[in-house]
Structure 1
Amino acid sequence: MTTLYLIRHAEAEGNLYRRIHGQYNSLITDNGYRQIQALQKRFADVPIDAVYSSDLFRTMTTARAIYVPKGLPLQTRADLRELGMGEWEDRSWAGIDRTDHTMMGLFSAASPDFRAPGGESFPEVRRRGVAAILDIASKHPNQSVAVFAHGTFIRNTVAEFLGIGPEGMKKMGHSDNTAVTLLEITDGKVKVVYMDDNSHLTPEISTLAQQHWWKKGDQRADVNLWFAPFDLTQEADRVFYQTCREEAWQNLYGRLDRYNGTGFLDDAYASWQEDPRSLSMAMAGNRRAGLLQLDPNRGAQEKKGYVSFLYLTPEQRHNGVGVQLIGKAVSLYRPLGRERLQLSCSEANQPALSFYEKYGFRRTGATAGAYGRLYEMEKYIGYDDQGALD
């Protein structure tokens, strides 16, 4: 018999930013590293003979919880990857729901008819998952193995082992990040001992504990943003931009004597003309929820992506959606080869400083602002393992 622990990766960018990351190579979040530490403690006294993971960063990094302290090599396999999402990769869930609502409904229902353009179907990931797990088990008779994979991969593979078809998938739970499923495999026959166990996580670091979409009967809604392009030749968009800038300044400083609305608009227009992606309108349903302004030229030589302005309308503040704007900035800058996000934040704006630091920004310096210091802040978005376990 092979004892096989099937483990989901730690919280990654897609989980936090609410973006579609199937085989997109996303990073682990700061909270994800806390989950990895908890997972390491869980397995400290559990004998493990071999460790496998998909060849994506988020699984390989999570696997460090076991293979590093136990002095084992990590064996990677592409067939342990998440469901391929094709043209949907790194798009926002809310944006795809608007443009392809019918197909999104098929995804939510785990329908065998689902397939994102250029992506995989659920039957395909089931076949791939079952073949990979049985092959790994065959290589390790009478041993214990840890296998690190992905949520949809695990859910469909375990469903196949349990004999659950598409119609029964809705009754299955969803695995938390770093949740553990235990399989016992003998001569190709699989017994599911337990599944989706996250008992090593406290509510403070559990990803699912902070979300509501998966809870039946929960009336609270997670707000997923989508992003529309700005058009600064249109009066409505110019007015919205100026309104956001002025409200942010007034809310922070309580005065407008040094406010230069024309200068802000001119800078935005210049960047927008050079690259329309430098301005994005954040939308919550049909309502304008905020905006994101980038300066693609600033810091480019140092492989930095500068965020000029990140704004949420008053009604969208304090509900956890601001991090989705950071995710949009990462999505735009990473393909350009940028390794860090950079921005400035007033020392008077303590809520914003706390927000940025919560999501991985660190203070790197200070400059003079209109009414006091502006802290320069940076967040690493490259692929080096900067959150390695001690």
Structure 2
Amino acid sequence: MVIALIRHGQTDWNRELRMQGRTDIPLNRTGREQARTAAAALAAGGWDLVVSSPLGRARETAGILADELGIELGGTFEGLIEQEFGDAEGVPVAEIRERWPARDIPGMEPDADVARRGVAVLTAIAEQHPGRRVLAVAHGTLIRRTLAALSGHDPEHYPRLDNLSSSEVRPGSASGDEAAWFVHTVGGVAFDELVIDLDARAAGTPVELAG
């Protein structure tokens, strides 16, 4: 069983750096092309089906991937939906940091709740599609908080995930607990490589970025 968490394609609000949350903004032309390009890169992965968040930008991305890969388009999972950002939705990200520096945004879904449902939906997908290789199209914040919950790191230390980036999770853990999940890749980078930077950020050590 492998689940690849795929961030949806670009929307106009992505391009304008506005917070989307659960506002149902559609893909733009670039987002659709990103999905077609990503399908070519995913073609060798032996994927069985695509599921998604119910939001339109995720569902359309999933449909393009399914069509391009010639695989089943499965259902939607509420657990894959993006975090609710309340009054911040539609607001430029830079302005959000100024208006709510403590992240006390009215109407925002608690961060801990996002992480819990993100982890829970992995089990729900596995129960509906046991043993299959599943592409699950979701949203940047949901994916980042889910991966952080699985690895035990601060989600703010995780890198930003690009549109159509793929992050793989697999069942089981180093302790042999098959009910758990572990992070295999993040945005296409092996977790064993990324964890060095995550641990450095947690320790407050400056991370050297490649040029």
Query: When the two structures are superposed, what TM-score results if normalisation uses the length of structure 1?
Result: 0.45
Secondary structure of the equivalent of 1:120?
A: coil
Which is helix-richer, 1 or 2? 2
8 Å CA contact 1:86–1:117 kept in 2: the answer is yes
Cα distance in 2, alignment partners of residues 157 and 148 from structure 1: 13
Alpha-carbon deviations, 1:208-231, whole Å to 9, x = none?
xxxxxxxx899xxxxxxxxxxxxx
Q: Which residue of 2 aligns with 1:145?
A: 134
Secondary structure of the equivalent of 2:44?
A: coil
Cα distance in 1, alignment partners of residues 120 and 20 from structure 2: 23
Give the counterpart letter for 2:167 in structure 1: T
Q: What is the Cα deviation at residue 4 of structure 1?
A: 0.8
Q: What is the Cα deviation at residue 115 of structure 1?
A: 4.3
Q: What is the Cα deviation at residue 41 of structure 1?
A: 0.4
* Alignment coverage as a number of residue pairs: 186
Q: Which residue of 2 aligns with 1:42?
A: 41
Q: 1:217 to 1:21 in 2, by over 3 A?
A: farther
Q: 1:123 to 1:44 in 2, by over 3 A?
A: same
Q: Which residue of 1 aligns with 2:201?
A: none
State the superposition RMSD in angstroms. Answer: 2.1
Which structure 1 segments of 5+ residues have no match?
107-113, 199-215, 219-390
8 Å CA contact 2:5–2:167 kept in 1: the answer is yes
Aligned residue runs from structure 1 range 14-93, under 5 A: 14-69=13-68, 70-93=70-93
Q: Which residue of 2 aligns with 1:127?
A: 116
Q: Which residue of 1 aligns with 2:158?
A: 172
Which is strand-richer, 1 or 2? 1
Question: Which gives a bigger RCO, structure 1 or 2 (Cα 8 Å, sep 6+)?
Answer: 2
Which structure 2 segments of 5+ residues have no match?
173-177, 190-206
Q: Which residue of 2 aligns with 1:197?
A: 188
Q: 1:143 to 1:30 in 2, by over 3 A?
A: same
Give the counterpart letter for 1:63 in structure 2: A
Aligned residue runs from structure 1 range 1-390, under 5 A: 2-69=1-68, 70-98=70-98, 100=99, 103=100, 105-106=101-102, 114-164=103-153, 168-186=154-172, 187-197=178-188
Q: What is the Cα deviation at residue 97 of structure 1?
A: 4.0
Q: What is the Cα deviation at residue 5 of structure 1?
A: 0.9
Q: What is the Cα deviation at residue 20 of structure 1?
A: 1.3
Q: Which residue of 2 aligns with 1:248?
A: none
Cα distance in 1, alignment partners of residues 71 and 167 from structure 2: 23
8 Å CA contact 1:115–1:121 kept in 2: the answer is no
8 Å CA contact 1:48–1:145 kept in 2: the answer is yes
Percent identical: 27
